[in-house]
Amino acid sequence: MKKSTAILLSLPVIVGALGYFVDVYDLLLFSIIRVPSLKSLGLGPDDVARRGQDILQYQMYGLLLGGILWGVLGDKKGRLKVLFASIILYSLGSIANGFVHTFEQYALARFVTGLGLAGELGAGITLVSEIMPKEKRGIATSLVAGIGLSGAVFAFFIRQWFVGPTGDGWRMCYYIGGGLGFLLLFLRVGVLESGLFKSMEGTDVRKGNFFMLFTNGRRFKKYITSILIALPNWYVIGILVTFSDKFAGTMKVRGTVDPGFAVMVAYAAITVGDILIGFISQWMKSRKNSLWLFHIITILSVIWYFNLQGQPSASVYWVCLFLGLGTGFWAMFVTMAAEQFGTNIRATVATTVPNMARGSLSLVVLPLFTGIQKVLPASKAYFQSGWITGLIVFAISSIALAMTEETFGKDLDYIEQ
């Protein structure tokens, strides 16, 4: 027992968790301070929602591009080098967010931040997966994500401390994020490179070839299904939780709904879910079955969300809590993706998959959501497009999960030819 605990609390796991903590803080900070920061730039109520959605898309574009860039470099140059470079970029990007004065500057700063943030989770999960015994791999990666996701909760309390009633002080939230990133650089110094990656040095193995994922039918299917499994995550966070105030208005919810608080509540529950799923997967001896369980919790929570007509605002936060718990499978889905591919493209997969899933908000979920609104009566368009989008998203992700192979206890010491 002591040996197992020591392994799970080893330096790579602790530093990986802290790294993802800073990653999530910076990633979700815009959603948490969206309203006060955009109002301080002179935007009206309608523009806060519209321009906020636009800025969120720019951030996602950065994540998409960065996912490919850092993934390839992670397999070619090493997991640790990617972690160092990406931390520097997103820390600088976060600080730059504090100096913006126009919508265009804000969008560019979020794009740069997203570009840097794209490298943290995939490289960290790959590194932890490759150094952990296969029997403890799922629990270790769940601890990394579970602890890391509490960064969103921390971001909310930072907003509470620094953002005043008039919206002043939101810039300090970004400066703190950048400072935490640079502090993380010093903690990374003692972490060693993956032995599986080092074993490929000096060989003629093709490393970090992104196109290998598309030249083989079986690899392509595994890659696409790995991404589609997580579509509900960014539908839930990117639409239902981030714009919970707007949905509450369409459902005539009594009282004021604070989307920043909704994000905090959801991520507090996601933290719990991501830790729980590691132990549940271990108990079930199955990655897939644990994912199905959380999938069902999310579906039931979404149904509850769209039946809040006339309820008090507290009901919205309770639903967000269960939505967060149900989508608390982020680490497990990234771990499954990493386990399905060989060492020579594992970082490429583990880095691109979560960022493609995040990017699906801009490429799939938001365009679908806004497109459906255009063909519906204006009075009900926002509400109805919300649940119709969810229906489509869950149908796709369920099919993807059904097609995904079980990876529990899989040996990772192999390469892709």
pLDDT band per the 50, 70, 90 thresholds, residue 1: very low
Position 269 scores a pLDDT of 92
* 3-state SS class at 242: coil
Position 281 in a domain: yes
* Residues contacting 183, CB < 8 A, separation 6+: none
- Among 32-36, 146-150, 290-294, the range with the most confident prediction by mean pLDDT is 290-294
DSSP for 28-79, please give it. Answer: HHHHHHHHHHHHHTT--HHHHHHHHHHHHHHHHHHHHHHHHHHHHHHHHT-H
Containing H/E element for 321? helix 313-326
Position 193 scores a pLDDT of 61
Q: Per-residue pLDDT averaged across 107-134, rounded? A: 85
**What share of the chain in percent tops pLDDT 90?**
41
Phi, psi of 94 (to 5 degrees): -65, -45
The string of pLDDT tens digits covering residues 205-220 is 777 788 889 989 999 9
Calpha distance 84→103 (Å, rounded): 29
pTM metric for this prediction = 0.80
Position 196 scores a pLDDT of 64
Q: Do 177 and 50 touch, CB atoms closer than 8 A?
A: no
Q: Do 349 and 211 touch, CB atoms closer than 8 A?
A: no
pLDDT band per the 50, 70, 90 thresholds, residue 197: low
pLDDT band per the 50, 70, 90 thresholds, residue 6: very low
Position 409 in a domain: no
**What share of the chain in percent tops pLDDT 70?**
93
Position 219 in a domain: yes
Position 217 scores a pLDDT of 92
Calpha distance 62→107 (Å, rounded): 10
Burial of 88 (0-12, 13-18, 19+ CB in 10 A): middle
The DSSP bridge partners found for residue 254 are: 312
Position 205 in a domain: no
Position 356 scores a pLDDT of 85
Position 204 scores a pLDDT of 66
**Domain total of the chain:** 1
The string of pLDDT tens digits covering residues 50-80 is 888 889 889 988 988 998 998 888 888 877 7
* 3-state SS class at 1: coil
pLDDT at position 299 over 80: yes
Q: 157 lies in which domain range?
A: 9-190+210-403
* Residues contacting 31, CB < 8 A, separation 6+: 56, 237, 241, 242, 259, 260, 263
Position 413 in a domain: no
Position 296 in a domain: yes
Question: Considering the chain, what is the average pLDDT of its residues?
Answer: 86
Domain with 341 in it: what CATH number?
A: 1.20.1250.20
The string of pLDDT tens digits covering residues 94-105 is 999 999 999 999
Position 241 in a domain: yes
Position 127 in a domain: yes
